[in-house]
Amino acid sequence: MLELAGATSDEVRDFVASGRRLAVVAIGALEAHGAHLPLSTDTVVAERVARELANRHDGALLPSVAYGETWATSGWPGTISLSPETVRLLAIDLARGAVASGLDRVVVVNGDFGNRLPLAAAARDLAAEGIRVLVLDHPGLAEAADAVRESAPAVPGMHHGEEIETSMVLAAAPDLVHLERAAPQYPDFPVDFGTRPVRLHEIGENAVFGDPRPATAAKGETLFAAVIAAASVQVERFLAG
């Protein structure tokens, strides 16, 4: 693995010349996750996955992008959201830059729900240019979460500030977690939630949806292992294609 943030231009040239052409980048977010988790939660989690994939597949690890499309949580202090178009163009420019350096396969590890549509659009645009991009959205997480969780989800499939997400940050960056401040929140969601844009501060008092209190680092490691294993299979297929 080569970390571009600490590498020289000559080291990148030699890395590519040796036949290693994979670039990996995490795209996260800066958004509220309650009183116990950092604003960087999505970036922390995505970066852990990206680093492990770059290490396993001997790729070049690009510096993580610490911002994303977080309109839904922009009602809470500290959330800084990019527009969907900015996320799309950012991903395109990152991939083009990687290819210009000789890295002709790009894996994007997405850390936030709001990035999904912009990153999918970027991948389509890049495919039209002949640039190979694989976008990963924590494959394997849903099944692993169901296996380890002790608390009920606020909404099926939603991991925001609750047991699952808190466990992953406890595993990746325990010093950033203030579990003594953790408190559950199960607000009433509108019946059409998920079918239209909703700003979450209009639903809940804070940015926690579920119960973070049962979170443990051990659960987080189990969750990361599942995600990384599933993602690694996808990367292997991507590289072989």
Kindly report, residue by residue over 52-64, the tens digit of the pLDDT.
999 999 999 999 9
Place 235 in a pLDDT band, splitting at 50, 70 and 90.
very high
For 103-122, b/e burial (b = at least 16 CB within 10 A) is: bebbbbbbbbbbbbebbbbb
pLDDT tens, residue by residue, 12-22: 999 999 999 99
Res. 230: pLDDT tops 90? yes
Q: What's the pTM value of the predicted model, to 2 decimals?
A: 0.97
Compute CA 178 distance to the chain's CA centroid, rounded to the nearest angstrom. 21
Res. 28: pLDDT tops 90? yes
Spell out the domains of the chain, with CATH numbers in brackets. 2-240 (3.40.50.10310)
Mean pLDDT of 87-101: 99
pLDDT at residue number 201: 95
Token representation of residue 35: 């009183």
Strands 105-110 and 22-27: parallel
pLDDT tens, residue by residue, 155-185: 999 999 999 999 999 999 999 999 999 999 9
pLDDT tens, residue by residue, 143-153: 999 999 999 99
